[in-house]
Structure 1
């Protein structure tokens, strides 16, 4: 039987393993303090408009200001009366203006993070782009009959005008109701993000792209996986809540591991991890 194991007993790291019996299939680690900002969504304030760069700099609540190219600014933020086709950044955007942005590229060296106002929220089967009407379709990695079948299911989905959706590879073989369920979850999430942005002034973090635990369940969990075993209370609670929300029919597979033997030792995978990931 395949299992998902999540080890969080060390305060500074969380580890995920996918095993089949006692064979390691997949492994991921998340180090405390090195969490990525990519995918995070912030309320931001324009601090400087730079016509020569066709971009602006924004304060989004982190130490260094972010870089927002003009092409990444949705026309919903343009000043009234500015024609979208001939707009220049200095006419469309002003200092002090508030926007909702998502991190596209992490800070590097002395470069600030690259940002966009075209938000994308990844679910299990689909990605929702709530304010980008032209971004939809089916993942390029999906081909042939799978592509045609998925496109047919996607055509049946209901979502607001002005949004678009992309099917992920995990969506292959899923029915339209299953895809719609995932999409509804993302629409609820976007509603909460939008509400938080409108509810307060200034620059701040609104939404943190999922932790390892939630990403793991979203991306690795499937019908082959019998149990999700977790060895700490807080991570177990987090996984339980997420499962109950997103896949309630499988919530019973999330289990709190309580044996005396350490979780990864119990499945004899520590040495497999060491040999697979030994530094050469």
Structure 2
């Protein structure tokens, strides 16, 4: 049974989806990382790029959004009339104002991806303005029902409208379809009216993406359990339950204890940010996320196996494949993903790994494309990215290592200090005061301070030092001067 736990009582909103008692998805939205996907803006074109058939649009955020030519209503209209494909600057110009909708949040150095084909969704129908298109859910029970709804949509659709009939529409009447269609047309007309009275850039409509995400999770299965700790959200969800005659059981958790801790999943949620993921057999995975792609390394770890070497490696890789599919969804890792499985000699084992990943990723709501093994034995796949991953949302680069995961050794820092001191050897001052951590000072002065007099002779200065506390290797040259005045300064630093 599917179970949702929604922790909404604080500024950071989050929910966990549990399947068979295990977290399969974790959505976390800090107040400054709320998704803009689905938001509609009045934007202003800042730059047209004919070479890329795209344009940059200022929609009110720090970075301009990226809009492709094919996402313009004017281009789609020309396409319908049979016109030949022309450059983007035939359909849009710098300084022009237009409605845009965010389809992918900005990530890293990349701005958001935008579309001019505005999409408005309801429980049964998706309305898209600016494109001639009809789509019917593939989850319909019969082809006859699919064709029937495709014909109904074609009858009522206008030329510049796209309609997608959702699964929930299959058992509903044409009257319900028309009611929702007219409501969406009215909503779009209202957006145009608002845009006419505002300056660009302006936000026209903001979706409650978090509530929608929860409702989407609930819509995918007929029943389940939802535990929520915010009474306002609880009321909204109960209204949805009653309106849709849903069999979901919704519980309001009013206790003072964090709902994740109360229901025993806080520690599991924290594991989603760990770099290393241990598997049941003692092997482990290492996740390395970069801006360009994500690398997953598979290691045997403590697992030695009882069978032959090839079988041991195959068993490790099979377990890793299942866990990787789970972790990609849990961590919301998108883009290009490279998996360094342990090398296997038998071709059928590689095929089995491919088939396992294909089966496991079918549960993912994001589109996953499997490329396969390269000549070097690296498995390639892509996962659609619509928002930042969990680590991008919840972590920041280490101020000491600046995100590299490594810091300079004590030796490197000590010799850097020595070079810097040598640059000042011609100064006339009698002494120099430095601060350094214990490991750096020990290497600078040598074993039992044997190198200290040598260094002082080369500098023609006495070196006074205070020891910095902490584990990171660092130093600071405080000042030059007479020995007496620097000793007073050192005393002040030590008190």
- Normalising by structure 1, what TM-score? 0.73
Which of the residues 26, 29, 39 maps onto 1:28? 26
Point out where structure 2 has 5 or more consecutive residues left out of the alignment.
278-495
The change in CA–CA distance for 1:57 and 1:77 in structure 2 (over 3 A counts) is farther
What does residue 57 of structure 1 align with? 56
Partner Cα distance (1:255, 1:185) in 2: 32
Q: Which 4+ runs in 1 deviate beyond 6 A?
A: 76-79
* 3-state secondary structure, aligned to 2:234: helix
Contact in 1 for aligned 2:222/2:247 (Cα 8 Å): no
Structure number with greater Rg is 2
Partner Cα distance (2:252, 2:100) in 1: 37
Partner Cα distance (2:221, 2:66) in 1: 42
What does residue 151 of structure 1 align with? 147
Contact in 1 for aligned 2:75/2:91 (Cα 8 Å): no
The change in CA–CA distance for 1:65 and 1:182 in structure 2 (over 3 A counts) is same
Partner Cα distance (1:149, 1:78) in 2: 30
- Equivalent positions of 1:221-236 (< 5 A) are 221=219, 224-225=222-223, 228-236=226-234
The change in CA–CA distance for 1:272 and 1:52 in structure 2 (over 3 A counts) is closer
What does residue 8 of structure 1 align with? 8
Partner Cα distance (2:2, 2:170) in 1: 20
Partner Cα distance (1:37, 1:236) in 2: 23
1:270 aligns with 2:268: no
What does residue 192 of structure 2 align with? 194
Which of the residues 204, 207, 212 maps onto 2:202? 204
Alpha-carbon offset, residue 61 of structure 1: 0.8
CA deviation map 1:45-78 (0-9, x unaligned): 1122233333222211111112222222111899
CA deviation map 1:76-130 (0-9, x unaligned): 8999xxx954654334422221100122333344333232211223333332212
More helix by share: 2
The change in CA–CA distance for 1:17 and 1:202 in structure 2 (over 3 A counts) is same
What does residue 45 of structure 1 align with? 44
Partner Cα distance (1:174, 1:30) in 2: 34
Alpha-carbon offset, residue 147 of structure 1: 3.9
CA deviation map 1:206-228 (0-9, x unaligned): 22343222221144237843765
Contact in 2 for aligned 1:101/1:119 (Cα 8 Å): yes
Alpha-carbon offset, residue 44 of structure 1: 0.6
Partner Cα distance (1:274, 1:110) in 2: 27
Partner Cα distance (1:185, 1:222) in 2: 24
* 3-state secondary structure, aligned to 2:42: strand
Partner Cα distance (1:253, 1:187) in 2: 34
Alpha-carbon offset, residue 164 of structure 1: 1.8
What does residue 116 of structure 2 align with? 117
Partner Cα distance (1:112, 1:277) in 2: 26
What does residue 68 of structure 2 align with? 69
Contact in 2 for aligned 1:5/1:230 (Cα 8 Å): yes
Contact in 2 for aligned 1:2/1:224 (Cα 8 Å): no
- Normalising by structure 2, what TM-score? 0.45
CA deviation map 1:21-41 (0-9, x unaligned): xx4686432221322233322
* 3-state secondary structure, aligned to 1:194: helix
What does residue 97 of structure 1 align with? 96
Contact in 2 for aligned 1:6/1:15 (Cα 8 Å): yes
Partner Cα distance (2:269, 2:64) in 1: 39
Partner Cα distance (1:2, 1:211) in 2: 20
What does residue 126 of structure 2 align with? 127
* 3-state secondary structure, aligned to 2:62: coil
Structure 1 stretch displaced more, 251-260 or 97-106: 251-260
Partner Cα distance (1:2, 1:255) in 2: 14
Alpha-carbon offset, residue 203 of structure 1: 0.7
Alpha-carbon offset, residue 43 of structure 1: 0.8
Partner Cα distance (1:15, 1:35) in 2: 14
CA deviation map 1:118-175 (0-9, x unaligned): 1223333332212212x22224x547x534313313433575512121233x437432
What does residue 394 of structure 2 align with? none
The change in CA–CA distance for 1:262 and 1:275 in structure 2 (over 3 A counts) is closer
- If asked which structure has higher relative contact order (CA below 8 Å, sep 6+), I would say 1
* 3-state secondary structure, aligned to 2:118: coil
CA deviation map 1:166-204 (0-9, x unaligned): 233x43743234861554554454344333323312112
The change in CA–CA distance for 1:111 and 1:6 in structure 2 (over 3 A counts) is closer
